[in-house]
Chain A
Amino acid sequence: MAKIALDKVSFTYPSADKATLANLSLQIAQGESHALLGASGAGKTTLLNVLSGLLQPSSGQIFFDDIEVSQLSGRQRQVAQVFQFPVLYESLNVADNLAFPLRVQKLTKSKVNARVDYICGELGLDAVRQAKPKSLSLFEKQLVAVGKALVRPDVSLVLLDEPLTAVEPKIKWRLRQTLRKVQAEFGVTMIYVTHDQTEALTFADRVSVLTADGIVQTDTPQAVYQSPAHEFVGHFVGSPGMNFVPADVLSIPGAQRVGFRSEWASLVTRAPLMGVIKRQRVQGTRKGKVYGLVTVQTAFGPIYVRGDLADGGADAALGTAVGVQVDRYVAFANQQKVAESDRL
């Protein structure tokens, strides 16, 4: 368990002419669960491999607890990793799999057993201790892989590489819940790499959004959602992503574009931003009223507004001209946040 610091870390693949990671700086506190969120091609896997010691940074430094580890192997850094699919020793049973990293360190038998018992208890693996990985479900296998990452008492950092990709959606939340619980109890520093914004926002204490140009924002999930520092963040996070319109449409000075979330706007009869209702998607009812997502076709592309739907069914209002009233916004210039309105 360590605090992690990246100082201007760059990485260029030998055959590439452009750096995959350029001047990344990042601080992660001890015991923090941190999510690295990014689209494919943003360099998530490269950054992960740099952290795990598989790749060594072309320049810059990595510190674990203020000790420089840039040139050390993952083994020396005492990093553990959980992969996209469960990676276990298939010929060993669950207990032996968990004991493997400890036995390699030549710990005494009683220490190994105590630690394996503890992990099995925490992760609810007692019933399958003697089972071979082959006979376990995908969920259980991934749980054992998580246990194997946590079993070493001296582990400095646990890396999770989209660990829920292979797990079916129904039990995704269960594994995430377990991870969250274990992370809180063990106080392990965890870095969770994902392209799924829901996973990132629900799992982590802090989220870093990674693009090909580097980290564009590092903040709490709430701040990343409510006050994106970069247009990409607003666009990438949230379902649907932020709506963007030119700033002069809403008469907001000093900005080029204005972004607002679908729930920050409402439909009125007249507003500076006018459009035609193109589609209505029912998402549920609230206090007896049907609400959902309305797609309004405007001169600046489709705008999504979340709120109560008009009476008379989803099709009744199609084609109606409406105004979009923006109650709260974030203003951007050169894609960077320049201003942000308070809730009105």
Chain B
Amino acid sequence: MLPLLTNKRWLKVTAFKPHNNRAWLGVLPVFLIVGFSAVIPLMTVVNYSVQDILDFNSRFFVGFQWYRDTLNDARFVDAFIRQIGFSATVLAVEIPLGIAVAKGISKTSRMTPIVLVLLALPLLIPWNVVGTIWLMFARPDIGLLGVLINAAGFSYNYTADPLHAWLTLVAMDVWHWTSLVALLSFAGLTSIPAPYYQAAELDGARAWQVFRYVELPRLRGVLVIAVLLRLMDSFMIYTEPFVLTGGGPGNSTTFLTQYLATMAVGQFDLGPAAAFSVLYFLFILLFCWLFYTMVMRNDER
């Protein structure tokens, strides 16, 4: 919505066009589909979030009570901070690493298609299988990774040490999703026409300048998509930590989704869980919007 309104060219063009409101009829089916698939379920949640539901017959309107409670809930705030920390960490690792991997793939080799398929493999594994793989892989008693780290002289046990649990979760997410960034970046890199490299070479540009002034500007589009995808996905991560650590040790890896699941499914607190869900949704929307406008404003300058 926002880029459309701030784009002055768009306004200028429409100023010359005659208005024909019948066009809205053509968009109506889309509104209906979106209404049934998104708006109505979302409204149900909004409806729940302002009521205290005791049973089928007795419910009370409580206004913003659940929202206030949620925002004042120390466990919510903790989970929220953990969630931001997790998203920031995986983005900080996956984006540069993905670009580095993409730069390392030869564009012309006969092995390239094979490398790309191998890279895509982690993306094809179901989430809870990924969790299970790492659950076993990282076990300090029988897992290959856990045993190796301990054999190397570092005491490592992700089930007992919060820091180890965190590192294992981050490693798992990086293993699972760096390929996505790498594949997107590789697609971006291959779309750069050869003359750009030739020109930079003749200008005497050094390798880092070629990356900074030729490749990075042309990767911008795919990187915006990669960051948005990973930001949303990592902010909503549920299955993998649930399988791997179950939120522990203690609450040290309890993220928002897990806390929400405990509330909604475990304790059946539908009202607070609904308020929680709406807030959660709004925060994701806010972060994506902030990131997108930041990028777009930079672009205009």
Contacts and interface: CB of A to CB of B under 8 A. Distances in A.
Interface of A: 52, 54, 73-75, 79-81, 83-85, 87, 89-92, 100-101, 104-105, 148
B147 to A, nearest CB: 48
Contact of B209 (A81, A87, A104, A148): A104
Dominant secondary structure of chain B at its interface with chain A: helix
Given A91-B217, A104-B209, A83 B203 contact: no
B218 interface: yes
Interface in B180-219: 193, 195-196, 198-199, 201-206, 209, 213-214, 216-218
Given A83-B195, A91-B213, A104-B209, A74 B202 contact: yes
A79 B203 CA distance: 9
A87 B196 contact: yes
A89 B217 contact: yes
Q: Which of B199, B201, B214, B217 lies at the interface centre, i.e. has the most chain A CB atoms within 10 A of its CB?
A: B199
B56 to A, nearest CB: 60
Nearest to A155: B202
6 contacts: A73-B201, A74-B198, A79-B202, A81-B198, A101-B204, A104-B205
Contacts of A80: 202
A104 B198 contact: no
A104 B203 CA distance: 8
A197 B200 CA distance: 30
A90 to B, nearest CB: 5
Q: Which of B196, B201, B202 lies at the interface centre, i.e. has the most chain A CB atoms within 10 A of its CB?
A: B202
Nearest to B214: A89
Contacts of A79: 202
Given A89-B217, A90-B217, A91-B213, A100 B205 contact: yes
Given A79-B202, A81-B202, A104-B206, 17 more contacts: A52-B198, A54-B198, A75-B201, A75-B202, A75-B204, A87-B193, A87-B196, A87-B199, A89-B213, A89-B214, A91-B213, A91-B217, A100-B203, A100-B213, A104-B203, A104-B205, A148-B203
Contacts of A91: 213, 216-217
A89 B214 CA distance: 6
A148 B196 CA distance: 13
A86 to B, nearest CB: 10
A90 B202 contact: no
Interface in B210-252: 213-214, 216-218
B204 A52 contact: no
B198 to A, nearest CB: 6
Nearest to B216: A91
A57 to B, nearest CB: 18
A92 B199 CA distance: 15
Contacts of A75: 201-202, 204
Nearest to A79: B202
Cβ-closest 4 pairs across A and B = A91-B217, A104-B204, A101-B203, A83-B195
A237 to B, nearest CB: 28
Given A89-B214, A90-B217, A105 B199 contact: no
B81 to A, nearest CB: 35
B277 to A, nearest CB: 40
A32 to B, nearest CB: 20
Interface string B75-98: 000000000000000000000000
Nearest to A148: B203
Contacts of B204: 75, 101, 104-105
Given A81-B199, A83-B195, A148-B203, A90 B218 contact: yes
B145 to A, nearest CB: 41
Contact of B213 (A54, A73, A92, A148): A92
B214 to A, nearest CB: 7
Nearest to A81: B202
Nearest to A149: B202
B204 to A, nearest CB: 4
Nearest to B218: A90
Contacts of B196: 87
